[in-house]
Amino acid sequence: MSPRRVPGTAPGVHDGPSAPGPELPAGVYQVFDSAGFEIDAPLFVISVAAQLAGMHAQTLRSYDREGLVSPGRTSGGGRRYSRRDIELLREVQKLSQDDGVNRAGIRRIIELEAQVDALRARAEELADEVRALNRSLHQSQADAANAAANAIAGLRRDVVPWQNTTTAMVTWRPARRR
């Protein structure tokens, strides 16, 4: 099951899967996995993250220095990796070892994937906006139809508009020559 996006709550600032956090700006979403846990919450210390990603902690530090995977930081400066960071570490490892992509190539791939994600999110926002505008349009059309029906119902029935109803036919005959 794919992650679900929930607008309006801050990542990592809740007591469980259903407790909301503080309000976020419009367009910022909190993403949950199928179990209901937020995937961007910085939970794992570097040793646990390294074990989950299947690599050495020094490799994680190297990736952080190079800007490939930048984990969250505690107030004391310690690294805290989220589930999304772990997935990214696995992807970097796969690209590097299995596909033979160098680190500059990996960085570019990560940047392009981030752009695609941002564009998808923007497209979703625009689709939401279009749906809202369509709902508003349909409501306006319904309101206009109701107003027209009320206006027609309010007209006086005893007043009939005047129409010229003559149906006389006029023919022209040229004068005869004498």
Cβ of 104: how many Cβ atoms within 10 Å? 9
* Interval 53-97: pLDDT, tens: 999 999 999 999 998 998 999 999 999 999 999 999 999 999 999
Q: Residue 133's pLDDT is what? A: 97
* Interval 8-39: pLDDT, tens: 444 444 334 444 445 655 555 667 767 777 88
Q: Identify the DSSP state of 25.
A: -
The CATH topology of domain 37-101 is Multidrug-efflux Transporter Regulator; Chain: A; Domain 2 (1.10.1660)
Would you list the domain boundaries of the chain? 37-101, 118-156
Q: What string of DSSP letters covers 103-123? A: HHHHHHHHHHHHHHHHHHHHH
Closest CA to 49 of 91, 83, 97, 95: 83
pLDDT over 70 for what percent of the chain?
Answer: 76
**Per-residue confidence at 156, pLDDT binned at 50, 70, 90?**
low
Kindly report which listed range (1-15, 64-78, 92-106, 126-140) carries the lowest average pLDDT score. 1-15
Cβ of 29: how many Cβ atoms within 10 Å? 18
Cβ of 9: how many Cβ atoms within 10 Å? 19
**Per-residue confidence at 151, pLDDT binned at 50, 70, 90?**
confident
Question: Rounded distance, CA 72 to CA 174, Å?
Answer: 103
